[in-house]
């Protein structure tokens, strides 16, 4: 098995990320739900095979359209998970969106020599957890990894003193463990993917002592390379978890396909702290197609309310 170097890098935002174009997902008259947490997104950006490590203006274009989803207000985003990302691409997207980034190197170089792996974009982290490589039973197909950070939601816009402040003190919501991951690909890798999901949900102790979820409910974004009714996803569709599109579908066709061939293989899951039920409810779930990747940008709003 290849031993990969794991690294975490934080990029400071270069600009606010606000956009002036009309939003494609306008707000509703009901306003924010009680216990508002924020928007979450996941995006396999096709950064190596599709772009060979290039972090050019296509990244800026993606940032502009992501910002449009919340009327240009990036403070409403809790986090965004990226997969198939070369290090500089994740860092630039974070800067364009006015966010920070953490990165896990899974041990494969991009075409231009950059580290390759997964990234997590967020505004403010209470703590970045030590990343991990996922089980890779036979050592085929390269390593897969996961990167997580404990983040806080922004203050509700209805609060007396406004929303997120640049020093992070406006993010006063409960802690949430935000994660980005990418599971093994291939029809012969079902068992390996099951080992990977069980490792993340049940076995992984990021600090060597406490399981994932000890710091607050888990919200996981990722390319899982499996359809919703695949057995390996049962652990996350179980009684303590929920996915942004609802119960597992047995399609095709799928309500919200995330891959060019019509499959749903990208997900947003949440489950509670140990012994607790799901972190909340999903609202306004959607996908946005792009010419820059063979995956769609998949997103939803998470709340702890009942709206």
pLDDT of 107 over the 60 cut: yes
pLDDT at 7 over 60: no
79-98 pLDDT per residue, tens: 999 999 999 999 999 999 99
The pLDDT, as a whole number, for residue 13 is 43
Q: Please indicate, yes or no, if residue 171 is contained in any of the structural domains.
A: yes
Average pLDDT of the segment spanning 68-83: 96
1 falls within a domain: no
Of residues 118, 51, 58, the one with CA closest to residue 85? 118
Measure the CA–CA gap between 28 and 16, rounded to whole angstroms.
24
Q: Check: CB of residue 71 under 8 Å from CB of residue 26.
A: yes
Q: Would you say residue 12 has pLDDT above 70?
A: no
Report the distance separating Cα 55 and Cα 89, nearest Å: 5
pTM value is 0.87
Here the CATH number for the domain that contains residue 137 is 3.60.10.10
Compute the distance between CA of residue 37 and CA of residue 218 in angstroms, rounded to an integer.
Answer: 12
pLDDT at residue 56 is higher than 80? yes
> Which ranges in 109-250 belong to alpha helices (H)?
190-198, 234-237
| Band of residue 2 on the pLDDT scale cut at 50, 70, 90 | very low
The reported pLDDT for the residue numbered 215 is 87
* Residue 133 resides in a domain: yes
Return mean pLDDT, the chain.
84
Q: Does 110 map to a domain?
A: yes
Least confident of 90-94, 185-189, 262-266, 294-298: 185-189
30 falls within a domain: no
Quick check: 59 pLDDT over 80? yes
pLDDT over 50 at 300, yes or no: yes
Domain of 235 in residue numbering reads as: 39-303
d(CA 137, CA 133): 12
Domain count, the chain: 1
CA–CA separation, 263 and 265 (whole Å): 6
Instruction: Work out the average pLDDT over 270-292.
Output: 83
Nearest Cα residue to 80 out of 96, 101, 61, 64: 101
Instruction: Give the separation between CA 163 and CA 18, rounded to whole angstroms.
Output: 15
Note the pLDDT tens digit of each residue in 267-279: 999 998 655 555 6
- Residue range 142-157, pLDDT digits in tens: 899 999 999 988 765 4
Q: What pLDDT does residue 197 have? A: 97
Identify which has the larger pLDDT, 90 or 17.
Answer: 90
Indicate whether 215 belongs to any domain.
yes
The string of pLDDT tens digits covering residues 135-189 is: 998 777 789 999 999 998 876 544 444 443 434 445 667 789 999 999 999 988 9
Asked whether residue 22 is assigned to any structural domain, the reply reads: no
Residue 180 lies in a domain: yes
pLDDT, tens digit (0-9, with 9 covering 90-100), for 221-243: 999 999 999 999 999 998 778 99
For residue 42, the model assigns a pLDDT of: 98
């Amino acid at each position: 098995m290849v031993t990969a170097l794991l690294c975490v890098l934080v990029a400071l935002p270069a600009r606010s990320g606000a956009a002036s174009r009309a939003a494609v997902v306008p707000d509703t008259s009901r306003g924010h739900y009680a216990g508002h947490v924020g928007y979450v997104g996941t995006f396999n950006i096709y950064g190596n095979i599709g772009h060979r490590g290039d972090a050019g203006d296509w990244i800026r274009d993606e940032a502009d359209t992501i910002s449009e989803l919340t009327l240009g207000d990036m403070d409403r985003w809790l986090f965004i998970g990226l997969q198939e990302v070369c290090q500089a691409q994740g860092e630039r997207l974070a800067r364009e969106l006015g966010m920070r980034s953490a990165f896990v190197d899974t041990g494969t170089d991009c075409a231009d020599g950059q580290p390759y792996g997964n990234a997590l974009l967020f505004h403010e982290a209470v703590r970045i957890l030590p990343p991990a490589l996922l089980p890779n039973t036979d050592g085929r197909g390269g390593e897969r990894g996961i990167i997580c950070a404990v983040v806080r939601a922004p203050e509700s816009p209805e609060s007396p003193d406004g929303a997120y402040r640049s020093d992070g003190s406006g993010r006063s919501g409960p802690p949430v463990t935000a994660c980005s991951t990418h599971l093994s690909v291939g029809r012969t890798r079902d068992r390996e993917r099951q080992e990977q999901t069980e490792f993340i949900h049940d076995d992984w102790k990021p600090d060597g002592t406490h399981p994932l979820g000890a710091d607050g409910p888990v919200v996981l974004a990722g390319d899982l390379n499996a359809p919703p009714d695949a057995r390996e996803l049962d652990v996350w569709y179980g009684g303590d978890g929920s996915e942004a599109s609802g119960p597992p579908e047995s399609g095709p066709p799928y309500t919200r396909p995330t891959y060019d061939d019509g499959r749903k293989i990208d997900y947003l899951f949440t489950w509670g702290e140990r012994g607790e039920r799901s972190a909340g409810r999903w609202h306004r779930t959607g996908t946005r197609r792009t010419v820059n990747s063979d995956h769609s940008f998949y997103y939803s709003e998470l709340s702890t309310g009942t709206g």
